[in-house]
Amino acid sequence: MTGVLPVTLEKTCKVMDTLLETDKEYVAVMKIHRDVSTEKLNNALAEFQGEIYQVPPARAAVKRRIRIRKIYSIKLLQKKGKYVLFKVHCEAGTYIRKLCVDIGRILGVNSQMVTLRRTRSGVFSEAEAYKPYQVAFAYYMWRERGREDLIRKIVHPVEEALSFLPRIVVKDSAVDPVCHGAYIAVPGVSALSPEIKRGDTVLIQTLKGEAVAIAKANMSTEDIYRRRKGVAANPLKVLMKPGTYSYDTYTEF
Amino acid sequence: MNSLLVKTFYETNPALGKPPEKRGLKELIETGVIPLDKPPSVTSTQVSMWIKKLFSLSKIGHAGTLEF
């Protein structure tokens, strides 16, 4: 199994659970044990579009009970005899190996997954994913030749990995309290994404675009925008080091 | 970047913090993500541990195992 695997370094490991929740895209090769027509296959794949019920495989690390997962799109790319190449865009936590077996069940034949490649994970697509040898080369150029450009291409800031989240931008003086775990008060909000609903996971950002924390919205965009006080969001995970926007050095602009 | 709704306009003090693209390499690595293209011959854990060792990191993680 190959493809996009976002690797988090140091403090970024804290946001792992948020990155795990992102949608994924795969291409997979499935083997069906009895040949079926392309039309029948297309119809079977179409059945899987939308919400599906899935029991995680026996080898899986999660509890084996029926889970509902969304398949945003599933498309046949090529069929060669008993081998079927297809593309799928799905919700996090969808088991493609299981999906292949289930497609066979709809077709009335036995089937299994042969190969899998993840072509996208959250904001990262395979076009911007690096092979280990490229990482090794970039590291070498940095350490031995003092060239930073390659390593800077490979290591992406956490903000980019989290850019799919709705955001709340807070003013400078509100940053440090959040770093210490304080809630995000409405007066501290400078700007925000238009689509926030109460309970959503949001990214708290500085005016300079730095990630401060991952938080749970306590109000919708409309409420935050209209109200003058109250709790806009509660931090779940603080990313910024306390003291970066220390009150001591803060001067009112 | 998707568009934002401005509630109150504030200036930011240039002396505090810095934009993500201005980060030094050490800082960038400390708050970094590598979108890796995992080859078929190694496990997700193996390739993560290899990066951890290469960069002498104290923590590493990978989002979504690509084993089965």
The CATH number assigned to the domain holding A86 equals 3.30.70.3190
- A62 inside 8 A of chain B by CB: no
Quick check: B7 and A97 CB within 8 A? Answer: no
Query: Do both A21 and A114 map to the same domain?
Result: yes
The parent domain of residue B40 ranges over 20-54
Tell me the mean pLDDT in the region A86-105: 95
- What would the pLDDT profile of B18-45 be if each residue is shown by its tens digit? 999 999 999 999 999 999 999 999 999 9
Residue in chain A nearest B4 by alpha carbon? A193
Picking from A3, A19, A253, the nearest residue to B63 by CB comes out as A19
The whole-angstrom separation of Cα A17 and Cα A23 is 13
Query: Do both A181 and A147 map to the same domain?
Result: no
- What would the pLDDT profile of A179-217 be if each residue is shown by its tens digit? 999 999 999 999 999 999 999 999 999 999 999 999 999
Which one of A7, A172, A173, A186 makes the best mutation probe of the B interface by having the most chain B beta carbons within 10 Å? Answer: A7
Query: Do both A206 and A103 map to the same domain?
Result: no
In the three-class reduction of DSSP (H, G, I as helix; E, B as strand; rest coil), residue B48 is classed as helix
Radius of gyration of chain B (CA): 18
Tell me which residue of A1, A80, A17 sits closest to A216, measured CA to CA: A17
pLDDT at position A63 is: 84
- A56 inside 8 A of chain B by CB: no
Both structure tokens of A136: 């090794």
Strands A67-80 and A83-90: antiparallel
| B31 assigned to some structural domain | yes
Query: Do both A179 and A87 map to the same domain?
Result: no
- A157 inside 8 A of chain B by CB: yes
Query: Do both A139 and A192 map to the same domain?
Result: no
- Residues A135, B38 contacting (CB under 8 angstroms): no
B41 to chain A: which residues are within 8 Å by CB? none
Burial (CB count within 10 angstroms: exposed 0-12, middle 13-18, buried 19+), residue A3? buried
- Looking at the structure of chain B, the number of domains it has is 1
**Cα A25-A5-B67 angle, rounded to 5 deg:** 85
The whole-angstrom separation of Cα A166 and Cα A76 is 33
Per-residue pLDDT band at A57 (split at 50, 70, 90): confident
What residues 223-242 of chain A have any CB closer than 8 A to a CB of chain B? 224-225, 239-240
- Residues A9, A16 contacting (CB under 8 angstroms): no
- B26 inside 8 A of chain A by CB: no
Residue in chain B nearest A252 by alpha carbon? B13
pLDDT at position B2 is: 64
| B8 assigned to some structural domain | no
The parent domain of residue A135 ranges over 130-157
CATH number at residue A187: 2.30.130.10
| B61 assigned to some structural domain | no
Quick check: A253 and B20 CB within 8 A? Answer: no
The whole-chain average pLDDT of chain A stands at: 94
Both structure tokens of B13: 């003090």
Residue in chain B nearest A1 by alpha carbon? B40
Q: Residue A142 above 90 pLDDT?
A: yes
| A36 assigned to some structural domain | yes
| B11 assigned to some structural domain | no
pLDDT at position A61 is: 78
The whole-angstrom separation of Cα A182 and Cα A246 is 14
The whole-angstrom separation of Cα A215 and Cα A233 is 6
- Looking at the structure of chain A, the number of domains it has is 3
Per-residue pLDDT band at A78 (split at 50, 70, 90): very high
pLDDT at position A249 is: 53
Quick check: A3 and B38 CB within 8 A? Answer: yes
What residues 166-205 of chain A have any CB closer than 8 A to a CB of chain B? 167, 169, 171-172, 175, 187, 189-194
| A225 assigned to some structural domain | yes
Quick check: B10 and A172 CB within 8 A? Answer: yes
Both structure tokens of A166: 């709705």
**Cα A205-A211-A212 angle, rounded to 5 deg:** 80
In the three-class reduction of DSSP (H, G, I as helix; E, B as strand; rest coil), residue B4 is classed as coil
Strands B5-6 and A231-238: unpaired
